[in-house]
Structure 1
Amino acid sequence: MADFTIRPAGPADGAFLADMVVEAANWRVGATRPRPSVLADARHGAYVAGWQRPADRGVVALDGDARPVGAAWYRLFGADRPSLGFVAAGVPELIIGVRPLWRAQGVGRALLRALADRARVEGFARLALSVEHGNFAHELYRSEGFSVVASTADRDTMVRVLR
């Protein structure tokens, strides 16, 4: 496993989290969704707009030189402004992004576990997420206890029970 550490995300991490939204949107090898178009898409931009709201929580993975290489965070969305993986008000939706060179090295799993622990401590009973069909992270989510609760032509909504 690669050498990395995890720390809580803070208000100064907003730009890096936006980078990770772009990484998450470009999960396919050779994908080239430009940063401006990803973040201008309301479905993706909602994950970072106004970071860090009071209920926002996240974690950032750092390499051995303390450079950020990945992040996972969650936000609460309302039924009037649902996100891609919205299941209900009061159920935080997480998003995770890892730089390509750090994928398949345990970073995503460690981020996911740290964030789930944080959500549990904060009193949440479930976490939700959205994943495109074919995304290699789908298996990671299943192995960490997420189950598909809804599906569309191009993506699944998954939920993990925390208690």
Structure 2
Amino acid sequence: MILREATPSDGDFLADMLVAAVNWSSEWKRKSRRRVLAAPDTGHYVADWPRGGDLGVVADVDGEAVGAAWLRFFSAEDPGYGFVAADVPELTIGVAAAWRGRGVGRALLRALEGRAREAGVRRISLSVERKNFAQRLYLAEGYEMVGAGSAQSDTMVKVL
């Protein structure tokens, strides 16, 4: 596996990984790519990739992208699900279904955190559904619960 910086040409792949993240549970009716990207509350995670301040990494295996993690700053007027403050970027991470549970997400998370530190980012936030197995990864990697994002999700923060 090779981890590389996300580039402007990765925008479509990041959108695919956003759709994968939204559709993490097989218990729910799958949301289409079109629906995820058209909805303002989800589409803004990848719209106009990259904007100033955006950071991202992509995992490639044998020349094929299999996962991505990225940070984006939001404002109080247009917050993400895990919004904490305008100076705290929010993490989005997605891994292709065939590659989940194989260490790709952890490797992406660690690589992105390293790049964030180099860029002077001091904290990262995220929102995760309580039933999502990724919550265990975030806890193991030092993210802490800071509040309930909704009845089904928590907002977490990691101090870098």
Deviations 1:116-150 (A, max 9, x none): 11111111110001111200100000000001101
- State the AA in 2 paired with 1:41: A
Residues in 1 aligned to 2:146 and 2:41: alpha-carbon distance in whole angstroms: 19
Return 5+ residue gaps in structure 1 as ranges: none
Among candidates 139, 155, 158, match of residue 156 of structure 2: 158
TM-score, with length taken from structure 1: 0.94
- TM-superposed CA distance for 1:30, in Å, is 5.5
- TM-superposed CA distance for 1:89, in Å, is 1.0
Aligned to 2:107, the other structure's residue is in SS state: helix
Match of 2:45 in 1: 47
Match of 2:99 in 1: 102
| 1:137 is the counterpart of 2:134 | yes
| 1:78 is the counterpart of 2:68 | no
% identical equivalent positions: 54
Residues in 1 aligned to 2:86 and 2:24: alpha-carbon distance in whole angstroms: 28
TM-score, with length taken from structure 2: 0.96
- TM-superposed CA distance for 1:79, in Å, is 1.0
Match of 1:19 in 2: 16
- After superposing on structure 2, the runs of 4+ consecutive aligned residues of structure 1 that deviate more than 4 Å are none
| RMSD of Structure 2 on Structure 1 (CA) | 0.9
Aligned to 2:36, the other structure's residue is in SS state: helix
